[in-house]
Chain A
Amino acid sequence: MSVGAETILEVLELRKWFSVGGGVLSGAKSTLKAVDGVSFSINRGEILGLVGESGSGKTSVGRTILRLAEPTGGTIRFRGQDITHISRGALRSIRPKMQLVFQDPFASLNPRMTVGRIVGAPLMIHEPGLGRAERARRVGEMLQTVGLSPGHAERYPHEFSGGQRQRVGIARALMLAPEFLVADEPVSALDVSIQAQIINLLLDLRARLSLAILFISHDLAVVGHVCDRVAVMYLGRLVETAATAELFANPRHPYTEALFSAAPDPDPEIKRTRVILTGDIPSPINPPTGCVFRTRCRYALPACAEAVPPLRTVGPGHQSACIRDDLSLQPAI
């Protein structure tokens, strides 16, 4: 991003732990560390990608930032204001400025409501004095903004295709003119042809409204196209962050390399050696000591088990949490 860009969101050492087990009669509670010390910041108009495989805690990060889940520790600063523990009432006035787009466009729209009511709901909640006609007019405008027509307002969600529903979800999120959007896998439930449309819509809206977006995804091709910077997450921790071009050309963490290697090649002629990750992601209830990735890392040393490696700056705007500097890792295609 350009020098002196305004930071809109700053997350410091964010932790979100869930306690699991432990019913009334059976004790033995254990702690699931879904997010364990994540720090990053996003500037106005910037798109930060958050990638990682299933279960790495990406969604928990998004929900916790929006205070849809109570953070266990750390600090969330939005537009300079600490919102980590502010009350629900105080949160209400901030909600319009930070919104959420969901992965599953079939579950995120209330099947009992017309699209007009769904998209108009933010206005009913935050501007209850608004007249019916005025609300309908603004809903119509917003539907046009996201590429639907005002006439669609009277229909129900099931009458739309997946891509159209995702547009409805985006319209709802944008109704109150947010400055920050968490897009939680917004295209992974859609067909590839529709994915491009939704991505272009998001990029277009970012440019017009200077939206900052936390773009959560497991699809590296999409992330490479959309994001300005990328943060790679594994088992509740960030393992590498860098500008997109830098990360793709010069990955410094073995997990990032493995992710690149797992992405499908568009060109079958190219022969590459694949880095195959064996086994599943370890349980976040009982994570490995030291570097959490060491159990699946092919470069692991005995030293990796000793201490949790911190994120170190390894280049301009490039941080990695690997203790080995001697690796030459395969870049993305």
Chain B
Amino acid sequence: MAEAAQISTNAPMTSSRRTYNRALARFVRHRLALFGLAAIVLLVLLCAVGPYLWPYNDLRIDIRHRFAEPFSGAHIFGADELGRDLLARLMTAGRVSLTVGFAAMAISTVIGTFIGTIAGYFGGIVGTALMRFVDAVLCFPSIFLLLALAAFVQPNLLAITLVIAATAWMEVARVVEAQIRSLRERDFAVAAQALGASDAHIMFRELLPNAIAPIVVASTLNVARAILLEAYVSYLGYGIQPPTPSWGNMLNNAQEYLSTAPWLALLPGLFITLAVTGFNFVGDGLRDALDPRLDLP
């Protein structure tokens, strides 16, 4: 009986407006999360709108201004070895990198949520088999798995996104599995069962909405991971292929000129850092803000 009471007080009553307000208040108090959110909003706006406003195109070659230094002329962030405008390239590359990040997050969240829900709800042999499969995939160092997979596919935006999603869904699956496994023992799940509800009804209508908070946290952190992974593979040459810029292949391109034109490496590196830390801070902030234990009366 004491156990039941304890479970009920731990209930994530996130449906309440009051709880959302409290969660919001906690998020706003989290300075780093706000900084992260600002960085993300800024980057997304810059990459989405910037190319329409900036007079230079990411592919236009301007040989007279090769290796133009930042803040020295018309090219604010300088130009690369072909005289292409660096800011224009960073913005276009940002579109690619952020698209890969968000798309891979969406795909991996859907896969992870689905597998985690099935495993957590059915348990037994099905659950064990699925979760041991998750463990097996987790055993591969993801960067090698990624490179191995990337070596087999034609590197384009879709393929890279799918490959990254394939190495990132396991975390979500584990989080969701643990949540669903505990939720399904709760009385409201038993009540749905007693009403004769189908498994799909119980899983997706009754249980999953109660697991939203940890899913949101895990998928936010996944965006950061996906951006970083895309940078890895593109840097190593298996990812987005030139001349299409991505933050990763810009770094790759820049390493030849590291001593003579260091800004070519520093600026893409800065953008990657900004995006990844931004998402990580937001993820941490959400984790703290949505923690139901903090809602105890």
The verdict on A104 contacting B8 (CB below 8 Å), with A110-B206, A110-B210, A111-B14 known, is yes
Q: Which of A12-20, A120-128, A227-235, A321-329 contacts B (4 or more CB under 8 A)?
A: A120-128
CB pair A121–B4 under 8 Å, yes or no, is: no
Q: How far is the CA of A113 from the CA of B193 in the complex (A)?
A: 16
Q: Which residues of B11-44 have CB atoms within 8 Å of chain A's CB atoms?
A: 11-16
CB pair A104–B5 under 8 Å, yes or no, is: yes
Cβ of B196 within 8 Å of any chain A Cβ, yes or no, is yes
CB pair B4–A103 under 8 Å, yes or no, is: yes
Chain A residues lying within 8 Å of B13, measured Cβ to Cβ, are 111, 156-158
Cβ of A208 within 8 Å of any chain B Cβ, yes or no, is no
- Which residue of chain B is the closest to A122 with respect to CB atoms? B195
CB pair B1–A103 under 8 Å, yes or no, is: yes
Cβ of B191 within 8 Å of any chain A Cβ, yes or no, is yes
The verdict on A111 contacting B191 (CB below 8 Å), with A103-B4, A104-B4 known, is no
Number of chain A interface residues as a range: 20 to 34
CB pair B188–A107 under 8 Å, yes or no, is: yes
A81 to chain B, nearest CB (A): 16
Q: How far is the CA of A125 from the CA of B205 in the complex (A)?
A: 12
Chain A residues lying within 8 Å of B187, measured Cβ to Cβ, are 102, 104, 107-108
CB pair B201–A111 under 8 Å, yes or no, is: no
Number of chain B interface residues as a range: 20 to 34
Contact with B along A56-70 (1 / 0, CB 8 A): 000000010010100
CB pair A66–B14 under 8 Å, yes or no, is: no
Contact with A along B185-209 (1 / 0, CB 8 A): 0111011111111100100001001
Chain B residues lying within 8 Å of A121, measured Cβ to Cβ, are 192, 195, 197
Q: How far is the CA of A54 from the CA of B4 in the complex (A)?
A: 13
Residues of A within 8 A of B (CB): 54, 63, 66, 68, 91-92, 95-96, 99-100, 102-104, 106-113, 121-122, 125-126, 156-159, 169, 172, 176, 188-189
Residues of B within 8 A of A (CB): 1, 4-5, 7-9, 11-16, 186-188, 190-198, 201, 206, 209-210
CB pair A112–B210 under 8 Å, yes or no, is: yes
Chain A residues lying within 8 Å of B7, measured Cβ to Cβ, are 107
9 A-B residue pairs with CB within 8 Å:
A54-B1, A100-B190, A104-B187, A110-B206, A111-B15, A112-B15, A126-B195, A158-B16, A172-B195
A56 to chain B, nearest CB (A): 13
B295 to chain A, nearest CB (A): 10
Q: How far is the CA of A83 from the CA of B11 in the complex (A)?
A: 34
- Which residue of chain A is the closest to B192 with respect to CB atoms? A121
Q: How far is the CA of A246 from the CA of B121 in the complex (A)?
A: 46
Chain A residues lying within 8 Å of B8, measured Cβ to Cβ, are 104, 106-107
Q: How far is the CA of A112 from the CA of B194 in the complex (A)?
A: 19
- Which residue of chain B is the closest to A103 with respect to CB atoms? B4
Chain B residues lying within 8 Å of A103, measured Cβ to Cβ, are 1, 4
Q: How far is the CA of A157 from the CA of B8 in the complex (A)?
A: 12
